[in-house]
Amino acid sequence: MLFNSVDFLIFLPIVFLLYWFGTKGNLKLQNILLLVSSYFFYACWDYRFLFLLIFSTLLDYFTGIKMHEAKTQGMKKFWFWLSISVNLGFLGVFKYYNFFAESLAESLQAVGFHANFWTLQVILPVGISFYTFHGLSYVIDIYKDRIKPERNFVDYSVFVSFFPLLVAGPIERATHLLPQIQAKRQFNYQQSVDGLRQILWGLFKKVVIADNCASYVDMVFSNPHGFAGSTHWLGVTFFAFQVYGDFSGYSDIALGTARLFGIDLLRNFAYPYFSRDTGEFWRRWHISLSSWFRDYLYIPLGGSSGGTWMRIRNTLIIFTVSGFWHGAAWTYVIWGFMNGLYIVPSILMNNSKGHKEIVAYGKKLPTIKEVFHIFVTFGLIIFSFMVFRSKDMTDAFIYISDSFSTSFFTKPEGIQNYLVWLLVIFMVVEWIGRENKYAIEKIGLKWTRVWRLTFYLIIVFAIFWFKPMHDVQFFYFQF
C-alpha cells in the first residue's frame, strides 16, 4: 500500500476515525488499533514477511528484557549478541548474501579459481533495513543502560511497526518514540492541521516533483552510452530532485500521518540542497540514518576524539557502511566512500564550519559566497549520485566519462520545459519556507481563509494534474 495510492486514501481516514472515535481515548485500545493497522498495512505488501517482522519484534522484546534481568555481564553480553547477530543475520541473508557470494566468486575467478556459489532467489522484505535498525538501536540502548526495556509488548510492537515509519523510516529511537506511545494522547487541532498540511506537501514532492523527474532519469541512466554529456548532467540533476522529492516527500507524509495520531516523529530532511558544504548536507539529509550511524557506529569507533587520522578513518567507515546500508551493490559502497572523502579535506584543514542554522537565516537572500558554496556542494553531491544511480560500476564509469566529454557543451536532449519550471517553483517555495520544519508550514497562515484554501487546492490540483497514470513506488523502499 503506497502512500500515494487510492488504497491509502481509504485506509488512513478509516484508521483515523476509529482511532479518535472508536477507542474513546483509551490508550490501550489506541495502541492495539495502531498495531493491528500497522500489521495490516505491512501485510498489504507481502503478508509472508509479516512473520519476519513479528519474529524480529519478539526477538528484540525478549532479549531486551533478558539483558536487563541478566545477573552477570556475560549473560547480558550473550543476549545482546544473540539479538545483534540474528537481526544482522536476517539482513545479511535477505539483503547481502547474493552480493557477497557473487563478489567472492568474481574475486576467485580473477585469480584463476572457479567458484560457483549458490545464489538465493529471495525478495527483499520491504522495510527490513529500517525496522532492523529500529530494533538494533533499542537493543544497544538497553545494553548500554541508556534505557530500560519496555515490558508492554503492544507498546513495543507499535514502536517497531508504527505504519507511517514502517517501510522507509524515519529510523526512530526508543527514547523519542516509546514515551509518546505510552503517553495519553488527545486530539490536537493544530497538530492535526499541521499533519495534514505536511502530508499535502509530501504528496506534492513525491507525485509532482519526483515522479515527473523519474521518466527522464530512467531514460538517461538506462542508456549511458546513448546521450551527450550535457544530458548526463541534466539527468543526474533531475535524479537529485527525484530522490529528494521522493524520500523527503515520503518522510513528510510519514511525519504528517503520525501527527494525525498525536505522535511526532523525528525529522528526516532539512533542506539539504541549501547546504554550504557536504558536512552540512549530511546533517540535513536522511537525518535519522546519519544520526543513527553517528551514535551507534562513529562514536563507538572513537568518534572525533582520537586525532585527525582516527577521525578520517571513522568518517570513511561510517560513510562506506552507510552506502552499503542502501543496497548490496558496489555503486552504493563507492557512493558512500566518495561522500566520506568529501569530508576529509575539512578534517585535514580542521576548518569544519559546523553550520547549524539554515543558510541566510533571517534574511531573504544568500550572499554571493553562500550561493557559490551551495552550488559547489550540490555539484559534488550530484557527482556522487552518478555512481549511486548507475546500474553498476561499468555504467557509472561510462556515465562519468561521457559527462566530462566535449558533448557537455551541446544542448541537452529531451529536455521538458514544464519540468524545469516545476523545479524552479518548487525550489522557490522550499527557499521561502526553509526556516520551517517543511516548506509550506507557515505559508498562508496569515492569509484569509479563502486564499489559504485556494493555495491548498492549487497544490491538490497540481498533484492530480501531474500524477503519472500508475502509482510509482517510493525510491527508498528498495533499501
Partner 1 sequence: MKTFLRKTLYLIIIPPLVFLIGMLLPPTPLAKEYLLASRPFKDSLLLHVKQPRIIFIAGSSMNFGLDSQVIKDSLHRNPINTGTHGGTGLFFMMDHNLPYVQKGDVVVLVAEYHQMYGNFAEGGEELLRVIFDNSEPSLFFKLRKSQLLKTYPYIPKYAMSKFLPAQYFKIKMNPVYSKNAYNQYGDAVTHWKTAYDKKVEPFKIIEGGDFNEDLLKALVEFNQKVLAKGAKLYVSFPPYQQTSFDNCKEQIAYIDGRLQKTNLEIIGTPERYVVADDMLYDTPYHLNKKGVDQRTRLLLEDVKAAMKKDGIK
Contacts of 374 (CB under 8 A, 6+ apart): 273, 274, 275, 276, 359, 366
Q: Which residues bind partner 1 (CB under 8 A)?
A: 20, 187, 189, 192-193, 196, 453, 456-457, 460-461, 464-465, 467, 469-470
In the complex with partner 1, which residue's Cβ is closer, 196 or 312?
196
Q: Cβ 457 to partner 1, closest distance in Å? A: 6
Q: How far apart are CA 160 and CA 419, in angstroms?
A: 38
In the complex with partner 1, which residue's Cβ is closer, 379 or 414?
414
Q: Cβ 6 to partner 1, closest distance in Å? A: 8
Peptide bond into 170 cis (omega under 30): yes
Q: Cβ 423 to partner 1, closest distance in Å? A: 21
Residue-wise DSSP of 190-246 = HHHHHHHHHHHHHHIIIIIIIHHHHHHHHHHHH-GGGS-HHHHHHHHHHHHHHHHHH
Contact 102, 119 (CB under 8 A): yes
In the complex with partner 1, which residue's Cβ is closer, 209 or 358?
209
Q: How far apart are CA 289 and CA 251, in angstroms?
A: 12
**What angle do helix axes 27-46 and 50-69 make, rounded to 10 degrees?**
130
Q: Helix-strand-coil percent breakdown of the chain, rounded to 5?
A: 70, 0, 30
Q: Cβ 420 to partner 1, closest distance in Å? A: 19
- The DSSP symbol for 262 reads T
Q: Cβ 20 to partner 1, closest distance in Å? A: 7
The answer to whether residue 326 is catalytic is yes
In the complex with partner 1, which residue's Cβ is closer, 196 or 317?
196
Q: Cβ 188 to partner 1, closest distance in Å? A: 9
Q: Cβ 73 to partner 1, closest distance in Å? A: 51
Catalytic pick among 326, 355, 373, 470: 326
Contact 198, 256 (CB under 8 A): yes
In the complex with partner 1, which residue's Cβ is closer, 191 or 275?
191
In the numeric block, which cell numbers belong to residue 65? 528484557
Q: How far apart are CA 293 and CA 121, in angstroms?
A: 30
In the complex with partner 1, which residue's Cβ is closer, 7 or 295?
7
In the complex with partner 1, which residue's Cβ is closer, 103 or 192?
192
Contact 33, 278 (CB under 8 A): no
Q: Tell how far CA 331 is from the center of its chain.
A: 18
Q: How far apart are CA 70 and CA 299, in angstroms?
A: 26
CB-side neighbour CA atoms (13 Å) of 126? 23
Q: Which positions are annotated as active-site residues?
A: 326
